[in-house]
Amino acid sequence: MGSICKTLDARLLLACAAALALTGCGKKQEQGTAADEPTAAATTAPASDALEGQVDIVAWPGYIERGETDKNYDWVTAFEQDTGCKVNVKTAGTSDEMVSLMTQGGYDLVTASGDASLRLIRGGTVQPVDLGRVPSYENVDERLRQAPWHFVDGKQYGTPYQWGPNVLMYNTKVFPTPPASWSVVFEEQKLPDGKANKGRIQAYDGPIYIADAAVYLMAKKPELGIKDPYELNEQQYAAALELLRRQHPLVHRYWHDANVAVQDFTNEGVVASGSWPFQVNTLVANKQPVASVVPAEGATGWADTTLLATNAKHPNCAYRWMEWSLNAKVQGDVAAWFGSVPAVPAACQGNTLLGEAGCATNGFDNFDKIHFWRTPEAACAQGTCVPYSRWATDYVAVMGGR
């Protein structure tokens, strides 16, 4: 995996702040099936195709590197030299922060996870993109081309960037055999070393973690009828909250800083947690007895999309960046640095930084087991579901022991 394990504030996701209300949330259109390929949405042609000299991007920490931390990881300098478009980056630590920044304006692009992209789309903050201006889109993983977190109402919003699963990370000395179920973090029990799990697990510090509980309940309590962990009716939602309340006494820490999560496994006796591959790879590189698994119930995950602001001041440079971001070399380098999976499968071969096993290590083959983050909306397939604003408020109470 090369240098993915450098000290990096990978992503401080979804702090426990009240969610921004969804704007204009009509019934969500299901993923299009009329065509094998996404259609290019109709957009207003720019007055000029001249490059504007800069592009302003909101991104997760570590997603846009220019070699300042490690000279081997630089996918900005060559773009600037080739286009004359200076890349200005504003890092955001949470999905809520990304939504806030984009709503305020002044940015051209954002690399948003699925729990933010629908809010941006429904709010009219981002616009459909013209795939005719992004020829490398044809190289995107077919599994991502019409994903419901960016293909909405028959229109394509943005281009996929990177993705990954939320894996179950575990201490191999405590678990000589990989744990088969998420029960080791959700249910009070003795672990294989004969000691209780109380005080030895972590849970994620973010409302979207309610979906992790729902994934577990889909298998544990099928009578609840949960089909989609982001579309929960009142009964299903109440069951997920109750599971999380029972989990609370077991939790050593609710983490949102990946490096703090790493430190807890190293120094604080934590032995099991939901995690990104970033933490797993970091701990393995540091010779810690750690491995990961996607349990039988499946897992949540994140798939990030580069979205174009409705009022983008530099649309031509923005489109050039979207095209550049789908270059196989760029995709592989980002995956190597971040511990993610490229949106372009060709990036998995021949990248020195990523290594031949890099995509497999980061979870490429787990795609079908992943329930990718998506903003919970009131309008859903089963009629009415609990919206994200409720998730945000209620999860703060759960973490407070209420």
Q: Tokens in use for 249?
A: 């006494």
Give the mean model confidence (pLDDT) for residues 28-53. 52
Shared domain for 142 and 76, answered yes or no, is: yes
pLDDT at res. 20: 36
pLDDT at res. 46: 59
Rounded to whole angstroms, how far apart are CA atoms 240 and 237?
A: 5
pLDDT at res. 31: 34
E strand map for 69-129: 86-91, 109-112, 126-127
Rounded to whole angstroms, how far apart are CA atoms 223 and 230?
A: 17
Rounded to whole angstroms, how far apart are CA atoms 354 and 174?
A: 29
The residue type found at 122 is: R
Residue 372: its H or E element: strand 370-372
Share the mean pLDDT of the chain.
88
pLDDT in tens, 343-361: 999 999 999 999 999 999 8
pLDDT at res. 277: 80
pLDDT in tens, 110-149: 999 999 999 999 999 999 999 999 999 999 999 999 999 9
Shared domain for 180 and 156, answered yes or no, is: no
pLDDT at res. 47: 61
Q: What is the CATH number of the domain that holds 295?
A: 3.40.190.10
Rounded to whole angstroms, how far apart are CA atoms 130 and 149?
A: 17
- Asked if residue 252 belongs to a domain, the reply is yes
Helix 258-267 with 277-285: angle, nearest 10 deg: 40
Give the mean model confidence (pLDDT) for residues 9-37. 36
Shared domain for 216 and 270, answered yes or no, is: yes
- Domain limits for position 395: 166-300+379-399
Shared domain for 119 and 195, answered yes or no, is: no
Shared domain for 240 and 309, answered yes or no, is: no
End-to-end CA distance of the chain: 41
Helix 315-325 with 328-338: angle, nearest 10 deg: 80
Which pLDDT band, with edges at 50, 70 and 90, does 363 fall under?
A: confident
